Structures are given as C-alpha cells and as structure tokens.
C-alpha cells in the first residue's frame, strides 16, 4: 500500500483504505461494506443507535473528548422544530491532518457516519462545514455526496426506510476560529465567524436557532463501525475511559511522520521510537506537543511513560486534544516555536473578546522582542501574568490556547528565554 507510512502496530479501522483512490467511488466503497451499517441503523431505530454509541464509550475526536452518545442524547427526542447535524470538517489546529485524510480517502465512511448520526438525533439536514483551504478534499467529498444522492443513499426515503436526510457541504473562508462549534455556526449562517456565548448550548439553540449537534469528522467516521460491530467490540480497543482507536498525526523531527491509527492508551515513546522510526538520526528528543498547538508542551523527560489517552496525557500535565503529536529535537529554538504559535493565535483571534484580541498580539510582540535579544526578565513575569488574564476570561478558549505554550515553555525552558535575554544584554552593554 502506497500510503506514506504504515506500521504493524496500527489497528486500521477508520484508516483501512487510506491510499486507495478506488475507495472514493461509491461502487467500490459499497462492495467493501459501506452503507451496510446505515441499513442496520434503520432497523435498530434512533434510540437504540444512541444507546449503542453510548455503550461504545466513543469520545469526541475534535479535541474535547466529550462522550458522543451522551451529546446525542441531549437532543430533543420529539422534534418540534428542525434538528441539524453539523459535521465539523474545519480541521485547522496546527499539527492536525487526520480529518483531511479521512475525507480524502474514504468520503463514504464519513457520509455514512453522518447519515446514521442524523438519523439518531432526528435531523433531516446535515451540514458538512469544510475548511476553506481543503480544495481537493472538498471536491472529493462533493463528488461522493453527489454519487450517494444518485444512489438514493441521501435524499428522500433512503434505502426504502422512509427516512429523508439531505446533505449540504459548506465551505468556510479559512478561519481557524470557525472550527470552534459556535463560531462555525455563525459562519454557517453567513455571519462573522465569532464564537457565541454559551448558554444556550447547541443541543438547544444553534444552527439557525435550532437544536444542533456538532461532531468531528473522525468521530462520525467511527460511527458506522460501532453500529456494525457493536459498542462492546469497539471497547476491545483502547482503555476503559478512552475506548477505541484514534488517528495520531505525528509531525516534526521524526523519521516517519504521518497519520497512524492506534488504540488509545498507546505509549507516547513507542509512538515516536517504534511507529515513527524515532527522532531523526543523530538527534535527541527535546520536547513534544502531544495534542496540537493549543496544549502545554512536554519536555523530553516528561514523555517517558505517558500513555496516549485522554487521562494519561492529562496526568502528564498536558492534553490529548486531537492527538496531533509535534515532535521537536534539540535543534529546536523553543522561544521561536512558541512565538510562531502565539503569532498564529494572534492572526486567528476573531477579535471580539479584549483579552484575546489585545493579549495574543501583545504576547507576540514581547516574544519577538525577546527573540531579537531585546527582552528583560520582567517580560517573562509579564507574559505569565498576561496568560493568567487570558485564561478563562473569554467567550471561547482561543486565548487560553495561546497562553498554554507560553506558560509551559517558560516553566520548562526558562533557560532558553534567559539565554536570549542575557545575550541581548551583553550585546547591548558592548
């Protein structure tokens, strides 16, 4: 198989057909079992589907890890107004590239998952909100939706079940914040992509003021397998609290970066050393960001013994997030990396909340000054104090995310900051 890298440690359920363009075509996908779970779901009925997903213990793969079945159960059981399912395909967390691959290689897996989810939550309309930069991916997905419509798998009376569900692909304009579910809703409705205050929560009032469930691409792609094989089967993988498999997006200084589907609870160091072939030759591990740019950095000595599940990473002082593992070796300039991340958040801040709008940009400027050797030790205290004022003070968590790498890097790599500051002082004195 030609998919960039594979490992025999993987459990390839969602990613089974990665690298095989045939899987994009409906006839091949159906021949390999796609849409059988949909028919099975229609036999089970919506409540039984929700129960099965609850039994599987599947947790949202977008980063928060909220139990999917529980989320679905918040939707009103007897709809008085239209319900919507929204598939969050606005994958934009730096370091993450799993949803793109899921849509690119197996769009029918996602469409089937969406249809089952919509059926379970009694939605008649699905919006797939695609990241604006995903041109090729969106084309592949649109083609698949078209084929599914032609085959009667989307639209009226699907598979003769009497169930009507439509699918609309909505393409964003390229804003990170539209991946936040309420920002996504605003964007979907044609407003500025700005997160909304909660409450009200999406299950009560969201897209167009109606009850809405938002699920990640990877979450929905797992649904057909759970319906087909049962929740108990899904629990054979992963840990008690974090069941199932997860796509790990590994990037940075490893020999074989890529997407790897592994059971949750997989040891971090084995992922790096075994699955990814280790840190690139002749170099040593310096730090790992285990869950995308929004989570605290782990120094090399903290990575030992970390198991990659929601609880395991949290115990190590970081978060699993969307399992985007960014590996950095000793050549990495931590201050520069942190500045680059914060600069990203400053660029992507929607600008409505003051701590985020002003704080992210201010942090960037301070970090740049430190990088250029014009920093002072006071700047570090200011940065830590700012992070505190940017955490938990805003509508969404973008500013919390910008603060996380700053705080963790100052705590763990203070020497690097100080070296830059001292060098600047020496140059300034001379």
Partner 1 sequence: MANDQNTVTLTIDGQEVSIPRGTTILQAAQRLGRDVPHYCYHPGLSSPAQCRLCLVEVEGAPKPMPSCVTQVADGQVVHTQSELALDMRRGVLEFYLVNHPLDCPICDMSGECKLQDYVHVEGRPHGRSREPKRVFGRDDFGGDVFYYGDRCVMCTRCVRFMTEVERDSRLTVVERGNRSVIDTFFDEGLDGTEWSGNIVDLCPVGALVSKDFLYKARAWDLTHTASICPSCSQGCNIELHTRDNRVQRLKPRENLEVNAFWMCDHGRLNYEWINRGDRLEAPLVRTAGSGEADTRAMGWKEALGVLLERADAAGTQPVRAVASPFMSNEDMAALRALVESLGGGEVVYRSVRAAEESVLEGLPTLARRKERAPNGRGAELIGFSRVGNDDGTGGLDDVARHDGIVLVLGDGLADQDAEFGASAALYVYLGTHGSPAAGHADFVLPVTTFAEQEGTFTNLDGRVQRFWPALRAPGAARPAWLVLGALLAERSGTEAPRSAAEVFAGLAQGSPAFAGLSYDDLGTRGATVNQPVSLPGD
Instruction: Name the minimum Å distance from CB 75 to partner 1.
Output: 24
Pick from 66, 284, 377, 388: which binds partner 1 (CB under 8 A)?
388
**Whether 208 contacts 218, CB under 8 Å:** no
User: Cβ–Cβ contacts within 10 Å for residue 40, how many?
Assistant: 15
Single out the residue of 392, 419, 426, 427 in contact with partner 1 (rule: CB under 8 A). Answer: 392
Per rule CB under 8 A, is residue 161 in the interface with partner 1? no
What are the CB-based long-range contacts (under 8 Å, 24+) for 190-196? 192/350, 193/350, 194/350, 194/351, 194/352, 194/395, 195/350, 195/352, 195/395, 195/396, 195/398, 196/395
**160: exposed, middle or buried (Cβ count in 10 Å: 0-12, 13-18, 19+):** exposed
Give the separation between CA 215 and CA 113, rounded to whole angstroms: 10
Angle at 342 between CA 377 and CA 129, to 5 degrees: 165
The span from the CA of 87 to the CA of 200, in Å, is 19
- Residue 200 touches partner 1, criterion: CB under 8 A: no
Binding to partner 1 (CB under 8 A): which residues in 164-183?
A: 175, 177
Binding test (CB under 8 A) with partner 1, winner from 49, 276, 346, 410: 346
Are the beta carbons of 91 and 268 closer than 8 angstroms? Answer: no
| Nearest residue (CB) to partner 1, 121 versus 370 | 370
Per-residue x/- mask for partner 1, residues 348 to 377, rule CB under 8 A?
xxxxxxxxxxxxxxx--xx--x--------
Q: Which stretch binds partner 1 (CB under 8 A): 12-20, 42-50, 52-60, 387-395?
A: 387-395
Burial class (CB in 10 A: 0-12, 13-18, 19+), 333: middle
Q: Is residue 380 a contact residue for partner 1 (CB under 8 A)?
A: no
**Binding-site size, partner 1 (CB under 8 A):** 34
Least separation, in Å, of the C-beta of 374 and partner 1?
9
Per-residue x/- marks for partner 1, 84-103, CB under 8 A?
Answer: --------------------
Q: Closest separation between CB of residue 200 and partner 1, Å?
A: 11
Of 130, 100, 59, 111, the residue nearest 310 (C-alpha): 59
β-pairing, 166-171 vs 212-216, is: unpaired
In whole angstroms, give the CA distance from residue 72 to residue 122: 10
In the list 347, 411, 423, 426, the residue contacting partner 1 (rule: CB under 8 A) is 347
CB 196 within 8 A of CB 352: no
Question: Is it true that the peptide bond before 427 is cis, omega within 30 degrees of 0?
Answer: no
- Which part of the chain contacts partner 1 (CB under 8 A), choosing from 63-71, 260-268, 272-280, 379-387? 379-387
201 belongs to the binding site for partner 1 (CB under 8 A): no
Contact 157, 114 (CB under 8 A): no
Residue 292 binds to partner 1 (criterion: CB under 8 A): no
State the nearest-atom distance from the C-beta of 238 to partner 1, in Å.
28
* Stretch near partner 1 under the rule CB under 8 A, chosen from 123-131, 281-289, 303-311, 378-386: 378-386
Per CB under 8 A, does 117 bind partner 1?
A: no
Minimum Å distance from CB 409 to partner 1?
A: 20
- Pick the binder of partner 1 from 165, 264, 386, 421 (CB under 8 A): 386
Nearest approach in angstroms of CB 382 to partner 1 is 5
Please name the residue that has the structure tokens 């159906």. Answer: 30
Q: What is the DSSP letter of 195?
A: P
Contact yes or no for 322/96 (Cβ under 8 A): yes
When binding is defined by CB under 8 A, the residue of 395, 406, 410, 421 that contacts partner 1 is 395
In the bound complex, what is the minimum distance in angstroms from residue 355's beta carbon to partner 1? 5
| Binding-site ranges for partner 1 (CB under 8 A) | 175, 177, 192, 197, 346-362, 365-366, 369, 378, 382, 385-386, 388-389, 392-395
């Amino acid at each position: 198989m030609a998919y960039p890298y594979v490992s025999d440690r993987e459990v390839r359920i969602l990613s089974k057909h990665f690298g095989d363009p045939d899987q994009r075509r409906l006839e091949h996908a159906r021949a390999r079992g796609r849409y059988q779970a949909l028919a099975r779901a229609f036999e089970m009925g919506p409540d039984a589907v929700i129960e099965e997903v609850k039994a599987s213990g599947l947790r949202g793969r977008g980063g928060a890890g909220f139990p999917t079945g529980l989320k679905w159960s918040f939707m009103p059981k007897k709809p008085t107004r239209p319900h919507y399912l929204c598939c969050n395909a606005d994958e934009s967390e730096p370091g993450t590239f799993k949803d793109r691959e899921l849509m690119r290689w197996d769009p029918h897996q996602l469409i089937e998952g969406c249809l089952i989810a919509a059926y379970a939550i009694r939605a008649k309309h699905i919006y797939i909100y695609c990241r604006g930069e995903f041109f090729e991916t969106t084309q592949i997905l649109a083609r698949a939706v078209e084929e599914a419509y032609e085959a009667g798998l989307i639209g009226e009376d699907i598979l003769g079940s009497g169930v009507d569900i439509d699918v609309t692909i909505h393409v964003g304009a390229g804003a990170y914040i539209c991946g936040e579910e309420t920002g996504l809703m605003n964007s979907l409705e044609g407003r500025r992509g700005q997160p909304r205050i909660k409450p009200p929560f999406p299950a009560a009032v969201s897209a167009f003021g109606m009850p809405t469930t938002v699920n990640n691409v990877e979450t929905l792609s797992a649904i057909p397998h759970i319906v087909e094989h049962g929740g108990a089967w899904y629990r054979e993988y992963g840990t008690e609290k974090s069941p199932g498999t997860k796509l790990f997006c590994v990037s940075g200084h490893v020999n074989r970066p890529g997407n790897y589907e592994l059971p949750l609870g997989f040891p971090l160091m084995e992922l790096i050393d075994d699955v990814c072939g280790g840190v690139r030759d002749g170099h040593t591990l310096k730090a790992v960001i285990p869950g995308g740019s929004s989570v605290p950095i782990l120094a090399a000595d903290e990575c030992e013994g970390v198991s990659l599940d929601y609880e395991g990473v949290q115990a190590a002082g970081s978060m699993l997030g969307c399992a985007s593992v960014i590996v950095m070796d000793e050549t990495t300039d931590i201050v520069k990396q942190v500045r680059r991340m914060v600069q990203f958040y400053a660029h992507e801040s929607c600008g409505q909340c003051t701590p985020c709008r002003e704080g992210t940009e201010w942090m960037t400027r301070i970090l740049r000054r430190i990088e250029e050797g014009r920093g002072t030790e006071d700047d570090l205290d200011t940065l830590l104090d700012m992070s505190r004022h940017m955490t938990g003070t805003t509508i969404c968590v973008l500013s919390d995310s910008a603060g996380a790498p700053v705080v963790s890097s100052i705590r763990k790599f203070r020497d690097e900051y100080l070296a830059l500051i001292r060098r600047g002082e020496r140059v300034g004195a001379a």
